[in-house]
Structure 1
Amino acid sequence: MDVNDWITGFLDVVQSVEPWLRTLIAGIAIMLETSVLLGLVVPGDTVVIVAATGIEDVVQWAGLVGACVAGALVGESIGFAIGRWLGPRIDAFLARRWPRAAERWGRAERYLRRRGGPAILLSRFLPVAHSLVPLVVGASGMAYRRFMAWTAPACLAWALAYASVGWLAAGSFRELSERLHGAGYVFVAIIVAFLAVVWLGKRWLVRRESRHMD
């Protein structure tokens, strides 16, 4: 089986799942990723890209984007509510049970104090921080409306990027697969190039923002 056959089989499996179910799974995955510390273990990025490869039209694309935005906002709202409810007790609990997590919590607190609203927006694109910052914001006493005003645009930008790239890669492959023997490599190249840009962007952003975290 060559790469075209393998990718065709993979895309057929993804498309065999009902669109509403793919969309629901992606939304739940993003909700879990942005809730508390589950972002450390739930691969929301991967789930969304896989779901996006099954998109067949703009309606399904819009549905996936909407589900991802809604899932992210619900997950971050849960983190915000827990932070508001538990407040300083989170810091003390982490220091007593998980020192490394307490250190990350302290870094997120300092980051929020120094950067304010932009820290909320940028945290969606920072590893670990996107799970911690909603908790920290809730504990800080910031108004929920202000939190949403900063995080919603970031969630929308993230969802647009991931849903669009998955759809573009799968659509390009299906258009080329009957005419180009190496169409599978085009599919892989689009995904790998996007992930490489995301990885480099995150590294650059971490370096740029690290002085505000320490």
Structure 2
Amino acid sequence: MNEVLNNILAIVTSVDPVLRTAIAGIAMFLETSILVGLVVPGDTIVIVSSTAVSSPAGYWALLITVIVGSLAGESLGFALGRLFGPRLRASPLGQRIGGGHWERAERYLARRGGLAVFISRFLPVLHALIPLTVGMSPMRYRRFIAWTAPACTLWAFAYITVGTLAAGSYRTVGDRLHYAGYLFVGGIVVFLLIALGARTLLHRTQSKHMDGEAPGPVVDGQGQAPRV
């Protein structure tokens, strides 16, 4: 196991640091922009990139790049929602996603407002639909970015820190412990399982705000319950 991991880490580390960091930022830009987040595995790319971090400067460069890439992607989704939202929703890809997902995103935004923007960053499907949905709503961009910026920062900090610490710990003890590779892989797997569990719990607790009657209006990011 150690030999395999050494080879993998050597390959990742051999990539130019600037290029490696840029790839992670671009991956997050694509993941958080319109619909691409449904197919681009941004979290995997970020974790792999973080395993090559070997200095505080590299850590902060990767963290800032991933955050900026995420916010740029979210901003693009918002802008496209403002300009082309209904047409994108009616496009072949939008139709393939299904009207149910769009309606849930609209309902969730209407009922939870800015909080929906924050929480959706950690939920599957919704994290790709909410920026576009917000763009089609009356919520202002400055309120949207105020809610999504801390969510993107928290996400980036968690993934990059875990990848960096796991790889750093492995490099420290890898030559002395023959089972260090299993500890490295186990640490990453445990983190991903915790992330999956948190997403599942969030989805269960928030699903009541996504289902039911048609959504009410959103007034400058303040969710309003639908009138009956």
User: Fold conserved (TM > 0.5)?
Assistant: yes
Contact 1:94/1:101 (8 A) holds in 2:
no
Using the size of structure 1 for normalisation, the TM-score is: 0.95
Indicate the structure with greater helix content.
1
Structure-2 residue corresponding to 1:123: 120
Structure-2 residue corresponding to 1:61: 59
Contact 2:63/2:157 (8 A) holds in 1:
yes
Using the size of structure 2 for normalisation, the TM-score is: 0.89
% identical aligned pairs: 53
1:17 counterpart = 2:15: yes
Q: List gaps (5 residues or longer) in structure 1.
A: none
Structure-1 residue corresponding to 2:140: 143
Q: Give the counterpart of 1:98 among 95, 98, 114.
A: 95
1:188 counterpart = 2:181: no
Equivalenced residues, count: 211
Structure-1 residue corresponding to 2:43: 45
Structure-1 residue corresponding to 2:223: none
Cα gap change, 1:75/1:171 in structure 2, threshold over 3 Å: closer, same or farther? same
Residue 95 of structure 1: how far off its partner (Å) = 9.3
**CA distance in structure 2 between the partners assigned to 1:116 and 1:37 by the alignment:** 21
Contact 1:14/1:54 (8 A) holds in 2:
yes
Deviations, residues 156-204 of structure 1 (Å, cap 9, x unaligned): 0000011101101100111111111100011001100100000000000
User: What SS does structure 2 have at the residue aligned with 1:98?
Assistant: helix
2:193 is matched by which residue type in structure 1? A
Q: List gaps (5 residues or longer) in structure 2.
A: 212-228
Q: Give the counterpart of 2:108 among 108, 111, 127.
A: 111
Q: Give the counterpart of 1:168 among 165, 168, 184.
A: 165
Q: Give the counterpart of 2:202 among 185, 200, 205.
A: 205
2:74 is matched by which residue type in structure 1? E
Deviations, residues 126-148 of structure 1 (Å, cap 9, x unaligned): 00111100000010021100000
Q: Give the counterpart of 1:153 among 132, 135, 150.
A: 150
Residue 102 of structure 1: how far off its partner (Å) = 2.0
Residue 23 of structure 1: how far off its partner (Å) = 0.5
Structure-2 residue corresponding to 1:5: 3
**CA distance in structure 2 between the partners assigned to 1:83 and 1:115 by the alignment:** 19
CA RMSD across the alignment: 1.5
